Amino acid sequence: MASESTPPSIPLPLAPPLSIPVLGLGVFQSTKTHSSVLSALSSGYRHLDTAQIYYNESATGAAVTEFLAKTPSVSRSDIFICSKLWEVDLTLPGMPPDFESIAHPPPNGSGAWKITVAKLGSTSYTKEGAVDGFNRSLEAMGPGIDYIDLYLLHNPRPGPTARLQAWLGLQEIVKAGKAKAIGVSNWSKRHIEELIANGEVDITPAVNQIEFHPWCQHKALVEYCQEKGIVVVAYSPLTQGTRLKDPVILDIAAKYGKTAAQVVLRWCLQRGVVIIPKSDKEERIKENSELWGWELAGEDMDRITALDEGISGKSGEWDPDAWE
């Protein structure tokens, strides 16, 4: 385990020689991306998770560039940036101009937000659309960022033909050196198997980013990915803040003198997944990074693992198996 200030990385076996830091900052629904990214980088985070649909690739890229300019001891290659292709080109006429236009907070003030994006006839999940979409993401990050470490297809929703074509576009981006690795998000085992069985596919997804936390463990999918060398990245690892008062978690937190969030994040790490918790609060960003130098004992891991509710325990909207 690394020192307290240096979160470790693990190799992406399907994208050598690249490693992915096991702790990243997620910026979905961030209302102050620039300062949160700076806080995270100052707290030792070296991985950032953005997406076209978050409308904050530019704030993320600008914050990384600013941090690098004032921190000569850290270079671009020390920082791992992930972004994701949305299934429609958000720059097309008629598309929502900003995140506020598509995101609707939950009625009772806590829990998952609802994201609505009008469907257009055209999808960016074509070979050319994926290349264009990637180029838009890279450009949005500003002149200080000239490659993206990891680029994902955000979801499998557009269907098998579109998924394959978009993947063939992403393969070209890797071969052109503009992305170091490519992967998928919200994909089921079936989606991955179908993709890699295709003769035109010569790069296997390096990661599958899925919802993952004690109440939604996707056990079979995680096992499948880990057997294949596909790194699982856990999104909403803190259940969007909704389950942190669980009595089992609070009991274990008291035993270790840690917070509920730290216990949940530490459990995720010990399950061998990468975590990307989101926070806009400087003290929580730091709290969520204090995960080294201690570990949960097997019996406590088991108590948390027993909290699994399967897909009904998800805090977000998406079930990978629900898509064609």
Q: Check binding of 124 to ligand NAP (CB under 6 A).
A: no
Would you say 31 or 69 has its CB closer to ligand NAP? 31
Catalytic residue among 45, 54, 151, 235: 54
263 class by beta-carbon count within 10 Å (0-12 exposed, 13-18 middle, 19+ buried): buried
Judged by CB under 6 A, the residue of 132, 172, 194, 280 near ligand NAP is 280
Closer to ligand NAP by CB, 200 or 309: give it: 309
Q: Which stretch binds ligand NAP (CB under 6 A): 157-165, 170-178, 191-199, 284-292?
A: 284-292
Separation between Cα atoms, residue 113 and residue 102, nearest integer Å = 10
Show contacts with ligand NAP in window 292-311 (CB under 6 A). Answer: none
Instruction: Give the tokens for residue 35.
Output: 């300062």
> What is the Cα–Cα distance from 286 to 43, expressed in whole angstroms?
6
Q: Which C-beta is closer to ligand NAP: that of 4 or that of 128? A: 4
- One of 171, 208, 279, 289 touching ligand NAP (CB under 6 A): 279
Instruction: Using CB under 6 A, pick the residue from 14, 27, 37, 307 that binds ligand NAP.
Output: 27
What mask, x for binding ligand NAP by CB under 6 A, covers residues 39 to 58? ----------x---------
Phi, psi at 133, each rounded to 5°: -65, -45
Q: Which residue is nearest to ligand NAP (CB)?
A: 26
Shortest distance (Å) from residue 227 CB to ligand NAP: 22
**Which 185-244 positions form the footprint of ligand NAP (CB under 6 A)?**
185-186, 209, 235-241, 244
Give the DSSP per-residue string, 227-265: HHTPEEEEESTTGGGSSTT-HHHHHHHHHHT--HHHHHH
Tokens matching residue 293 = 């130098």
Taking the C-alpha atoms of residue 146 and residue 34, their distance in angstroms, rounded to an integer, is 19
- Shortest reach from residue 233's CB to ligand NAP, in Å: 8
Stretch binding ligand NAP (CB under 6 A), from 8-16, 23-31, 214-222, 297-305: 23-31
Cβ at position 102, least distance to ligand NAP in Å: 14
191 is in an annotated binding site: no
Cβ of residue 133: shortest distance to ligand NAP, in angstroms? 15
- Residue pair 161/194 in contact (Cβ under 8 Å)? The answer is no
- Tell me the three state secondary structure of residue 84: strand
Q: Answer for the pair 43, 286: CB distance below 8 angstroms, yes or no.
A: yes
Residues 88-107 that bind ligand NAP (CB under 6 A): none
Q: What does the alpha-carbon distance between residue 278 and residue 227 come to, in Å, rounded to a whole number?
A: 28
Tell whether residue 261 is a contact of ligand NAP (CB under 6 A): yes
| β-pair type (19-21, 9-11) | antiparallel
Q: Which residues pair with 275 in a beta bridge?
A: 23, 234
- Cα dihedral 314, 9, 170, 227, rounded to 10, equals -60
Q: Please say if 54 is a catalytic residue.
A: yes
Work out whether 278 is an interface residue with ligand NAP (CB under 6 A). yes
Task: State in Å, rounded, how far the first CA of the chain is from the last one.
Answer: 40
Report the C-alpha gap between 198 and 237 in whole angstroms.
Answer: 32
Interacting stretch for ligand NAP, rule CB under 6 A, among 21-29, 129-137, 139-147, 299-307? 21-29
Q: Which is nearer to ligand NAP, 27 or 206 (CB)?
A: 27
Three-class SS state of 149: strand
For residues 126 and 10, what is the distance between their CA atoms, to the nearest angstrom?
A: 31
Q: Which is nearer to ligand NAP, 21 or 316 (CB)?
A: 316
For ligand NAP, the binding residues (CB under 6 A) are: 26-29, 49, 185-186, 209, 235-241, 244, 259, 261, 276-281, 284, 287-288, 316
Q: Which residues are catalytic?
A: 54
